[in-house]
Amino acid sequence: MDFKNILLEQPEAGIYLLTVNRPKALNALNAATLDEIAAAIKKVAMDDGARVLLVTGAGEKAFVAGADIAEMQNATIEQAREFSEKGGRVMHALEALPVPVIALVNGFALGGGCELALACDWILAAPNAVFGQPEVNLGIPPGFGGTQRLPRRVGPARALEMLTTARQVKAEEAVAIGLANHMHPASELRAKGLDAARTIASRGPVAVRLVKQAVQRGGNLDLFAACALETDLFVQAFGTQDRKEGMTAFREKRAAKFRNR
C-alpha cells in the first residue's frame, strides 16, 4: 500500500517508526489516515522480526491534534457510527500488537490524538506535549476509546475531570499522574525512543511478547486468575530455545543470542 498520510520506516532491524504525516492539518485523523495506520499495523504484526513500534507525528506542533472535525461535521448518525468503529478498530489493533508500542508525543495529543497515544503501551513526551479529551466542547463524547483507556491509565477521578471539563494536561503533569512515562527535550525525543526500543529489542523476544500478554490480559482478571495466567505463560516460555539460550548465557557470563524461537 502506498501511504499518503503516514510514513512507516524501519530505522534499525526490528524497530519500526510510524509517523502520522499531515502536518498542515496538525496530523488530524481522517478516515483515510485511519485506514493507512491500520495497514501499517498489519504490516508490523506480520513481520516476525518486529520487536518494537514507535508512533509519532510529523512537525513540531502536534503528535495528533484530534480527529478531523471537517470530515465529521456533516456526518449522519450512520456515518458517525462507522467512523467511531473504524477508529476503535485501529486503536484495538495497535494495542493488540504482540510487540511493545511506544508513543513519542511531540506536541498536541488531543481527542483522537490522545486516544492514539493511550492505545500505545507507554508514552514519552516532549516538554511541549499537551494531552486532552476536549470532545465535550463539540457536544460529543470521545469515540475512539478515550472514556475507557484514560481511566485505566490515570484513574477514574482524574479521567472524569479531564473528560467532563476538557482540561488539557501538559507534559510535566502528564508524567506526574502516570499518563506519560517520561519527559525528554523535543530534540532528543526520537533518540530516547530509539534507545528504549533498542533495549527491548535486545531482550528475549518471546519473553517480551509473553510479558505484554500477561499485563494486558491479566488486567481484566481477578488476582488469582491473573497469577494463574502468568504461570501458564511462564511454563510456555520453558518450551522455547530462547529460554535455554538465555539461561545458558547467564551461567556462561555472556550476552544471549536470542532467535525468537
Per run of 10 residues, the mean pLDDT along the chain (length 261 residues) is 92 97 95 97 97 97 92 92 97 98 98 98 98 97 97 98 98 98 98 98 96 95 97 95 93 92 89
pLDDT attached to residue 70: 85
Distances (CA, A) of 135 to 9, 113, 140: 32, 12, 5
pLDDT attached to residue 71: 86
β-bridge pairing 101-105 and 169-170: unpaired
**Residue 240 in domain:** yes
Point out the residues that are catalytic. 115, 135
**Residue 165 in domain:** yes
Q: Please tell me whether residues 96 and 214 are part of one structural domain.
A: no
pLDDT attached to residue 1: 67
Distances (CA, A) of 96 to 5, 121, 140, 157, 206: 22, 10, 27, 26, 15
Residue that is last in its domain, among 179, 201, 223: 201
pLDDT attached to residue 181: 98
Q: Please tell me whether residues 59 and 160 are part of one structural domain.
A: yes
pLDDT attached to residue 234: 95
**Residue 256 in domain:** no
Q: What are the E-state strand segments in the chain?
A: 6-12, 15-20, 52-57, 62-64, 101-105, 108-110, 122-125, 130-132, 169-170, 182-183
Residue 29 identity: L
d(C-alpha 29, C-alpha 165), whole Å: 23
Q: Which three cell numbers stand for residue 110?
A: 488531543
Number of domains in the chain: 2
Q: Please tell me whether residues 20 and 133 are part of one structural domain.
A: yes
Residue 81 identity: R
**Residue 64 in domain:** yes
Q: Please tell me whether residues 36 and 77 are part of one structural domain.
A: yes
Q: Please tell me whether residues 34 and 94 are part of one structural domain.
A: yes
Do 177 and 158 meet the contact criterion of CB atoms below 8 Å apart?
A: yes
Residue that is last in its domain, among 201, 220, 236: 201
Domain containing 247: what range? 205-251
**Residue 258 in domain:** no
